[in-house]
């Protein structure tokens, strides 16, 4: 009979059902292998040996001393009302001074038996004060049988691993469980090919696992970390390299624009010339579209660099070649906005089959979840017959009912809102796999692009179109300097006086049941109990107060789609001066006449989000102004974050700052498919070199051995990684 491999052994068999249940529910650990890969967050030293005469407060210390006396007291408490509570007080001395140790409850039995007067031991714990006397509560201790100095030195100098823990399971209990399973580390199959490991001087995996959990020196920790980072980077890059390889084998219909087709007609009607960047990126895209394998390209561009225009030209090239193109947007507001701007840019070219339509024209349809039945039926019919060359919609496009005549290109806007699976679902709509263009306005550092979008080729648009104005950004410290906020509203009035418009952005809508539902974001928010400012409240205050007399409208996600669209149309047409909104305006909203944006409680937004929001102003010829209003004190991390946003318009620089401040797991998790990241040791920003090198090695290995037949251990590690992702996707459902 086959024995279960040691690392696949369920924890309940090894640690008992109660502990295993807590580990599974609170830490997601199910097998011995999972537990071995639950790495320490940091390490404590037991502390240099300290004399009792000079104990520092609030620090971890280790002392060697002799028990002078030990007394057990009983007392009444809320937990033990009948006087059954127990407290053990032990006094120890080392000749230089005395110190009290205290143990409570069930924790008194073992020390009561062991810490008898005259016993010599080492004690480690945190020094605190009780009744004006120094004490250690529940210290760890080790009895010293023989008078061996070596034992003392090695015990005091040991590095104590501290694990990511939960209230139900303390770090030291996790440590104990790991010590139980540590011998199994010898059985760990090493996913790194031997030549790669030796060539880079990396530890074998079993040794790395031993050293990460039971290091003797700091060098042990560094060596183990270096090795475990390589594992994570390499296995992930192999998964991506295999995905790229598999995609490259798929057939696709080459799509080449006609010299006298709709694309040429569209270019002729453009009132401006394309930027150098737009031309270069378009050429990369057209070259991909002309091949017999599907394009997989990520187009990342600065806010306002004209990505939509580049995507539209790609869509028209496909229509020219007899195919259809679909653009997938994350929200209805954005889908409607794209539909409006595409039909405006195309003019009579978007009126296929209608009177007044050009001979090259096609139909551009919108498909969203909240459309009326008749409009929806007509849109579905236009797609099935091929009448509509271009469709723009939300994930309603992915539904089973939607049939395309000949889907040639899928454009996904704002990738971080769509998982890989949703991209695949839409790609499955083509008779042959369609070409894929993914757009993101959040510039992504190179390493993150390699890690998260490693299955895509990357194009970058970093040039702003001519006529775009720079945006000045300033932090407005409303609490320290209230007159700054008053001045901000004056600036809005001044802009309105010149015929321009303004956005005011708030974190919350304001019709929630109560402010408590607003999620707390950080300790700083905790310290300041006020709920985030709300659109409905602020709009009313502004209309009655500092912006009285201006036309103020509101926009938020809980409005009916038709109402949202009507508000956006009025604002775009200049029929409102100020739009007070939530982040529904974050991406894609294009009103060139809007020149100023005031972001209330700016500290409640992430760096990338602020950069996105700011990109909604300065889209015309007048300069843009963005005011970041906050009540956070000057020294706080939140203020530093806002200062960083105010000091640069470089999205790539800001995305680095954003990543350094948030845990990368959040970024990767969302992008991988809205789940927790599989990275435990790798830091995407700091480990740039490891990721780049792992990508090269992975590409080389997959090219030589696509099915990894010569590397069974790597294949096992890969299956585990992909199973985890698939499992999480299914859970998300």
DSSP 470: P
Nearest Cα to Cα of residue 511 among 549, 478, 554: 554
237 within 8 A of 454, measured Cβ to Cβ: yes
Q: CB 621: neighbour CB atoms within 10 A?
A: 11
Q: How far is the C-alpha of 258 from the C-alpha of 265, rounded, in Å?
A: 10
DSSP 43: E
pLDDT of residue 669: 42
User: Which residues of the chain are modeled with pLDDT < 50?
Assistant: 1-3, 513-528, 663-677, 726-733
Q: How far is the C-alpha of 387 from the C-alpha of 367, rounded, in Å?
A: 14
* % pLDDT > 90, the chain: 26
Nearest Cα to Cα of residue 310 among 345, 337, 334: 345
Nearest Cα to Cα of residue 165 among 155, 173, 154, 153: 173
DSSP 668: H
For residue 242, what are the contacts with CB-CB under 8 A and spacing of at least 6? 702, 706, 718
Q: How far is the C-alpha of 515 from the C-alpha of 520, rounded, in Å?
A: 10
For CA atoms 187, 192, 193, 195, the dihedral sign is negative
For helices 420-427 and 664-673, give the axis angle rounded to 10 degrees: 20
684 within 8 A of 447, measured Cβ to Cβ: yes
pLDDT of residue 566: 86
Q: How far is the C-alpha of 177 from the C-alpha of 30, rounded, in Å?
A: 13
pLDDT of residue 49: 56
CA distances from 18 to 15, 22, 125, 182, 409 (A): 8, 7, 28, 20, 53
Query: In this structure, which long-range contacts are made by residues 420-426, counting pairs with CB atoms below 8 Å and at least 24 apart in sequence?
Result: 420/455, 420/672, 420/673, 421/673, 421/729, 422/328, 422/395, 422/398, 425/398, 426/326, 426/328, 426/397, 426/398
Q: CB 548: neighbour CB atoms within 10 A?
A: 10
Cα first-last separation, the chain? 37
Q: How far is the C-alpha of 406 from the C-alpha of 433, rounded, in Å?
A: 10
CA 322 from chain centre, in angstroms, equals 39
- Return left, alpha or beta for 540; rule: phi > 0 is left, psi -120 to 50 is alpha, else beta: alpha
Q: What is the DSSP string of 102-118?
A: EEEGGGGHHHHHH--TT
Helices (H) and strands (E) counted in the chain, each on its own, are 26, 21
Query: Residue 11: helix, strand or coil by DSSP?
Result: helix
Name the pairing type of β-strands 120-130 and 133-137: antiparallel
Q: How far is the C-alpha of 207 from the C-alpha of 183, rounded, in Å?
A: 11
Q: How far is the C-alpha of 327 from the C-alpha of 339, rounded, in Å?
A: 9
Q: What is the DSSP string of 76-100?
A: --SSSTTTTEEEEEEEEE-SS-EEE
Find tokens 């991406």 and name the residue.
587
Nearest Cα to Cα of residue 144 among 132, 133, 153, 135: 153
Q: How far is the C-alpha of 131 from the C-alpha of 183, rounded, in Å?
A: 46
Q: How far is the C-alpha of 94 from the C-alpha of 170, rounded, in Å?
A: 31
479 within 8 A of 639, measured Cβ to Cβ: no
For residue 282, what are the contacts with CB-CB under 8 A and spacing of at least 6? 274, 310, 313, 314
Q: How far is the C-alpha of 113 from the C-alpha of 108, rounded, in Å?
A: 9
Q: How far is the C-alpha of 134 from the C-alpha of 57, rounded, in Å?
A: 8
Burial class (CB in 10 A: 0-12, 13-18, 19+), 354: exposed
Q: How far is the C-alpha of 689 from the C-alpha of 431, rounded, in Å?
A: 41
For residue 275, what are the contacts with CB-CB under 8 A and spacing of at least 6? 305, 306, 463, 464, 465, 466
Residue 301 β-bridge partners: 461
For residue 221, what are the contacts with CB-CB under 8 A and spacing of at least 6? 43, 159, 211, 212, 215
**Per-residue b or e along 186-224, where b marks 16 or more CB atoms closer than 10 Å to that residue's CB:** eebebbbbeebbeeeebbebbbbbbbbbbbeeeebbebb
420 within 8 A of 337, measured Cβ to Cβ: no
Query: In this structure, which long-range contacts are made by residues 653-657, counting pairs with CB atoms below 8 Å and at least 24 apart in sequence?
Result: 654/443, 654/607, 654/608, 654/611, 655/442, 655/443, 655/444, 655/445, 655/448, 655/607, 655/608, 656/445, 656/685, 657/607
pLDDT of residue 50: 63
Residue 409 β-bridge partners: 325, 435
Q: How far is the C-alpha of 37 from the C-alpha of 724, rounded, in Å?
A: 14
Q: How far is the C-alpha of 215 from the C-alpha of 203, rounded, in Å?
A: 14
Query: Residue 512: helix, strand or coil by DSSP?
Result: coil
Q: CB 54: neighbour CB atoms within 10 A?
A: 9
């Amino acid at each position: 009979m086959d024995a279960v491999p040691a690392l696949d052994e369920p924890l309940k068999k090894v640690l008992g059902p109660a502990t295993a249940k807590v580990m599974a529910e609170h830490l997601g650990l199910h097998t011995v292998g999972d537990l071995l890969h639950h790495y320490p967050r940091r390490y404590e030293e037991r502390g240099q040996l300290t004399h009792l005469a000079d104990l520092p407060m609030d620090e971890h210390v280790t002392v060697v001393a002799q028990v002078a006396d030990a007394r057990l007291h009983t007392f009444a408490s809320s937990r033990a009302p009948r006087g059954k509570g127990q407290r053990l007080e032990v006094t120890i001395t080392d000749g230089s001074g005395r110190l009290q140790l205290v143990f409570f409850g069930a924790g008194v039995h073992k020390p009561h038996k062991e810490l008898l007067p005259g016993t010599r031991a080492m004690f480690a714990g945190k020094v605190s004060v009780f009744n004006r006397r120094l004490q250690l509560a529940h210290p760890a201790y080790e009895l010293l049988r023989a008078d061996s100095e070596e034992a003392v030195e090695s015990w005091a100098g040991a590095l104590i691993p501290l694990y990511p823990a939960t209230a139900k399971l303390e770090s030291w209990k996790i440590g104990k469980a790991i010590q139980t399973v540590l011998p199994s580390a010898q059985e760990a199959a090493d996913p790194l090919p031997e030549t790669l490991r030796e060539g880079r001087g990396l530890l074998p995996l079993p040794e790395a696992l031993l050293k990460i959990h039971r290091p003797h020196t700091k060098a042990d920790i560094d060596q183990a970390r270096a090795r475990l980072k390589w594992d994570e980077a390499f296995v992930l890059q192999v998964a991506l390299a295999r995905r790229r390889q598999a995609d490259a084998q798929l057939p696709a219909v080459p799509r080449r624009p006609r010299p006298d087709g709709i694309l040429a007609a569209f270019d002729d009607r453009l009132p401006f010339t394309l930027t150098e960047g737009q031309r270069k990126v378009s050429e990369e895209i057209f070259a991909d579209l002309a091949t017999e394998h599907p394009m997989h390209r990520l187009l990342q561009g600065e806010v306002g660099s004209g990505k939509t225009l580049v995507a539209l030209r790609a869509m028209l090239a496909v229509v020219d070649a007899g195919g259809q193109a679909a653009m997938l947007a994350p929200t209805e507001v954005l889908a409607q906005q794209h539909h409006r701007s595409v039909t405006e840019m195309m003019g009579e070219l978007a009126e296929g089959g209608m009177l007044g339509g050009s001979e090259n024209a096609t139909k551009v349809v919108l498909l969203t979840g909240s459309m009326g039945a008749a409009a929806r039926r007509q849109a579905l019919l236009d797609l099935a017959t091929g009448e509509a060359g271009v469709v723009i919609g939300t994930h309603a496009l992915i539904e089973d009912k939607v049939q395309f005549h000949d889907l040639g290109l899928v454009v996904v806007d704002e990738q971080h809102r769509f998982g890989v699976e949703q991209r695949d679902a839409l790609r499955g709509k083509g008779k042959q796999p369609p070409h894929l263009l993914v757009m993101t306005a959040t510039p992504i550092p190179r390493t993150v692009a390699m890690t998260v979008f490693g299955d895509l080729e990357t194009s970058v648009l970093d040039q702003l179109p001519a006529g775009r104005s720079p945006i000045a950004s300033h932090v407005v410290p409303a609490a320290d300097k209230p007159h700054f906020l008053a001045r901000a509203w004056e600036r809005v009035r001044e802009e309105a006086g010149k015929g321009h418009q303004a956005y005011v952005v708030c974190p919350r809508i304001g019709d929630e049941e109560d402010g408590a539902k607003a999620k707390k974001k950080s300790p700083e928010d905790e310290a300041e109990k006020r709920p985030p400012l709300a659109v409905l409240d602020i709009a009313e205050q502004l209309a009655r107060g500092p912006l009285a007399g201006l036309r103020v409208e509101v926009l938020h996600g809980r409005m009916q789609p038709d109402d949202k669209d009507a508000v956006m149309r009025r604002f775009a047409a200049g029929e409102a001066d100020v739009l007070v909104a939530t982040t529904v305006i974050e991406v894609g909203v294009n009103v060139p006449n809007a020149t100023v944006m005031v972001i209330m409680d700016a500290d409640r937004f992430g760096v990338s989000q602020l950069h996105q929001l700011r990109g909604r102003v300065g889209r015309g010829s007048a300069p843009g102004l963005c005011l970041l209003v906050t009540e956070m004190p000057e020294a706080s991390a939140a203020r530093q974050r806002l200062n960083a946003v105010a000091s640069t318009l470089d999205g790539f620089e800001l995305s680095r700052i954003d990543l350094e401040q948030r845990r990368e797991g959040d970024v990767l998790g969302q992008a991988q498919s809205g789940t927790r990241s599989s990275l435990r040791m790798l830091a995407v920003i700091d480990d740039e070199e490891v990721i780049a090198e792992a990508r090269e090695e992975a590409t080389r290995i997959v090219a030589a051995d696509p099915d990894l037949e010569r590397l069974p251990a790597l294949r096992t590690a890969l299956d585990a990684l992909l199973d985890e992702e698939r499992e999480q996707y299914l859970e998300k459902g």
